[in-house]
């Protein structure tokens, strides 16, 4: 079975845009930028793709460190915000579906952050990875910040909630064993206004994700702890998959 093709087109709008804007503070973005520099082994002035980039929080953080950045996303309002914030920084933003990276080439590294891998069916996810691989130079690295079956299921909860600014976010989650997808129903509440949305995200095991990345053209894959960048362990709560072309 495939993921419903419409969910991500409807999700990135309305209250979620404001929630995403307020979710990460500057300190968190700088911490993630430092981790990416380390695991991608970036040299000064590296050419890097952020896909999808959202409003460019990590694209711009790495551009401020002197890297030549390209952000790819399909949410126009976020791209407009990223371009307005970029100023003279070495950052370019492209409006595009991340399965369609044709024409991009010569990059040293790429990354997919904040659980943005697994939106599509398996063929669509592989198309993302294959497009990234094609855009990289030999030896280039692709980092994916991801929940794996091994990291998420030990702490899986069917319900949760959190607060971002004056917005309350509720999530009801179910794992579909037939498709290995997390089906989530979200409720966003702010100032008496309520929005409901649905997401469907493929949850890969480490073995499945490594196999997908190799089919996409990568020569090797290693798994790191998503918080520290140390080798992944059974105690890790999130993972970074780092594939090398």
> What are the pLDDT digits (tens) for 60-96?
999 999 999 999 999 999 999 999 999 999 999 999 9
* Distance of alpha carbon 240 from alpha carbon 245, whole angstroms: 16
Strands 193-202, 47-50: parallel, antiparallel or unpaired by DSSP? unpaired
Q: The pTM is what?
A: 0.94
Tens-place pLDDT, residues 102-126: 999 999 999 999 989 999 999 999 9
Q: How confident is the model at residue 1 (pLDDT cuts 50, 70, 90)?
A: very low
Q: What are the structural domains, with CATH classification, of the chain?
A: 7-147+204-244 (3.40.50.150), 152-199 (2.20.130)
Task: Judge whether residue 221 has pLDDT over 80.
Answer: yes
Q: How confident is the model at residue 16 (pLDDT cuts 50, 70, 90)?
A: confident
Predicted local confidence at residue 5, as pLDDT: 54
Task: Judge whether residue 2 has pLDDT over 90.
Answer: no
Q: How confident is the model at residue 20 (pLDDT cuts 50, 70, 90)?
A: confident
Q: Which of 48-52, 138-142, 163-167 has the lowest mean pLDDT?
A: 163-167
Task: Judge whether residue 169 has pLDDT over 80.
Answer: yes
């Amino acid at each position: 079975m495939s993921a419903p093709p419409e969910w991500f087109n409807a999700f990135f709008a309305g209250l979620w845009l404001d929630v995403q804007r307020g979710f990460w503070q500057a300190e968190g973005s700088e911490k993630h930028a430092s981790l990416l520099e380390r695991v991608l082994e970036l040299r000064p002035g590296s050419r890097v793709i952020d896909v999808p980039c959202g409003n460019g929080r990590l694209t711009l953080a790495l551009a401020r460190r002197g890297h030549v950045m390209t952000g790819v996303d399909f949410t126009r309002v976020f791209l407009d915000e990223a371009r307005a914030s970029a100023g003279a920084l070495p950052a370019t933003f492209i409006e595009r579906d991340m399965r369609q990276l044709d024409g991009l080439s010569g990059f040293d590294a790429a990354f997919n952050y904040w659980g943005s891998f697994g939106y599509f069916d398996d063929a669509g996810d592989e198309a993302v990875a294959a497009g990234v691989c094609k855009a990289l130079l030999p030896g280039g690295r692709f980092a994916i910040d991801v929940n794996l079956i091994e990291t998420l299921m030990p702490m899986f909860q069917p319900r949760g909630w959190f607060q971002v600014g004056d917005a309350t976010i509720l999530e009801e989650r179910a794992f579909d064993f037939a498709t290995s997808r997390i089906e989530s129903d979200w409720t966003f509440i702010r100032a008496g206004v309520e929005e409901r949305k649905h997401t469907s995200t493929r949850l890969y095991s480490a073995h499945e994700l490594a196999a997908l990345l190799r089919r996409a053209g990568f020569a090797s894959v290693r798994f790191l702890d998503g918080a520290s960048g140390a080798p992944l362990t059974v105690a890790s709560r999130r993972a970074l998959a780092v594939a090398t072309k």
